[in-house]
């Protein structure tokens, strides 16, 4: 109001007298508690840098830890299979080169014909199972999803030069020769890889499923195979009446490709038909007082009985 003087208190007690008693009580209580909060903050221990993450982790709500499912043991080899079978072959014509330096001979029989000797068509169970032309396979499936595998592939094949009039050209007894000879046993000539031309291959294999029901009681697959390896022939021969010391030897190399149709019964037993092409190159074959060299191609048909051994349980 005009003309009225306002009194402004200057000390604490004067201010408190002017405040309503209820508000004054609350104010005093708050002013009393402030020092205690200050002291509590000063007395709180400081955490080290190592303890701070640990404390934060302890303050977080604990979650129930679920145990991860046990890992299934992985097998590098998914299955193993073995088979035994018998074969028949047809050979390309071949040139047989003969080198006998001590006799003055260096000649070639040009384009000679040869045939196999099945054996199994003469009575399969009348002699040892390894006498006829046989085959065995030892295989490993490495990738079941993509069908890749590895196989050891052996063919006991027999190569026999047929009786014929053979063209001979080169040097014989240090004299040129270009003529024809009667290549037959009665005339002192025979050439047998009769205990085996023996193709050994290390194959990469690929499998395709053609028919695969859920229960797999009958399954049909196609297999492609390709490989290289050594030949291990048994040499037995006579040239111009001179016989060699017959025996097995490591005699060169071969490469082959094979297509197989396999029917598997109850997952463990299979029957397999195969067609195979092979190229073999023989060198330093044992003959009388010298060595022989030749190369030829082979078409082969094989029928085998085999067994499968899975290395892990299938789902």
Q: For residue 133, what is the domain's CATH number? A: 2.40.128
> Is residue 263 included in any domain, yes or no?
yes
> Is residue 48 included in any domain, yes or no?
no
What token pair was written down for 283? 């060198």
Question: What is the band of 7 on the pLDDT scale with cuts at 50, 70, 90?
Answer: very low
Rounded CA separation 84/303 (Å): 8
pLDDT at 132 over 60: yes
pTM assigned to the model: 0.75
pLDDT at 315 over 60: no
Rounded CA separation 194/183 (Å): 17
pLDDT score recorded for residue 122: 77
> Is residue 28 included in any domain, yes or no?
no
What token pair was written down for 258? 């094979």
70-82 pLDDT, tens digit per residue, is 666 677 898 999 9
203-257 pLDDT, tens digit per residue, is 999 999 999 998 889 999 999 999 999 999 999 999 999 999 999 999 999 999 9
pLDDT at 133 over 90: yes
What token pair was written down for 37? 């909060």
Please provide the size of the chain in residues.
Answer: 315
> Is residue 60 included in any domain, yes or no?
no
> Is residue 40 included in any domain, yes or no?
no
pLDDT at 59 over 80: no
> Is residue 66 included in any domain, yes or no?
no
Question: What is the band of 137 on the pLDDT scale with cuts at 50, 70, 90?
Answer: very high
Mean pLDDT, all residues of the chain: 85
The 10 Å CB-count burial string (b at 16+, else e) for 82-105 is ebebbbbbebeebebbbbbeebeb
The number of distinct structural domains making up the chain is 1
pLDDT score recorded for residue 244: 96
pLDDT at 39 over 50: no
Range(s) of the domain holding residue 291: 79-310
Which long-range contacts (C-beta less than 8 Å, at least 24 apart) are formed by 210-216?
Answer: 216/264, 216/266, 216/267
At 220, phi and psi to the nearest 5? -120, 125
> Is residue 183 included in any domain, yes or no?
yes
85-117 pLDDT, tens digit per residue, is 999 999 999 999 999 999 999 999 999 999 999
């Amino acid at each position: 109001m005009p003309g009225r003087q306002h009194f402004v208190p200057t000390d604490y007690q004067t201010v408190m007298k002017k405040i309503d008693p209820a508000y004054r009580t609350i104010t005093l209580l708050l002013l009393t508690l402030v020092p205690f909060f200050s002291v509590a903050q000063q007395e709180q221990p400081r955490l080290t840098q190592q303890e701070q993450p640990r404390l934060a982790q302890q303050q977080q709500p604990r979650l129930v830890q679920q145990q991860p499912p046990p890992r299934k043991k992985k097998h590098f080899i998914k299955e193993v299979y073995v088979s035994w079978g018998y074969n028949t072959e047809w050979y390309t014509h071949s040139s047989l080169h003969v080198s006998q330096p001590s006799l003055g001979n260096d000649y070639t029989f040009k384009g000679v014909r040869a045939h196999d000797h099945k054996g199994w068509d003469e009575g399969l169970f009348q002699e040892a199972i390894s006498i006829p032309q046989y085959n065995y396979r030892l295989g490993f499936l490495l990738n079941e999803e993509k069908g890749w595998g590895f196989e050891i592939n052996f063919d006991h094949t027999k190569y026999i030069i047929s009786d014929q009039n053979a063209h001979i050209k080169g040097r014989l007894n240090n004299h040129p020769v270009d003529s024809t000879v009667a290549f037959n046993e009665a005339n002192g000539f025979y050439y047998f890889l009769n205990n085996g031309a023996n193709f050994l291959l290390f194959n990469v294999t690929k499998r395709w499923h053609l028919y695969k029901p859920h229960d797999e009681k009958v399954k049909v697959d196609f297999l492609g195979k390709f490989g290289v390896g050594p030949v291990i022939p048994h040499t037995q021969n006579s040239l111009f009446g001179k016989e060699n010391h017959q025996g097995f030897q490591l005699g060169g190399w071969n490469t082959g490709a094979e297509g197989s149709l396999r029917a598997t019964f109850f997952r463990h037993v299979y029957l397999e038909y195969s067609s195979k092409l092979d190229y073999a190159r023989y060198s330093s074959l044992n003959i009388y007082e010298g060595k022989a060299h030749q190369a030829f191609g082979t078409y082969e048909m094989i029928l085998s009985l085999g067994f499968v051994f899975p290395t892990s349980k299938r789902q």
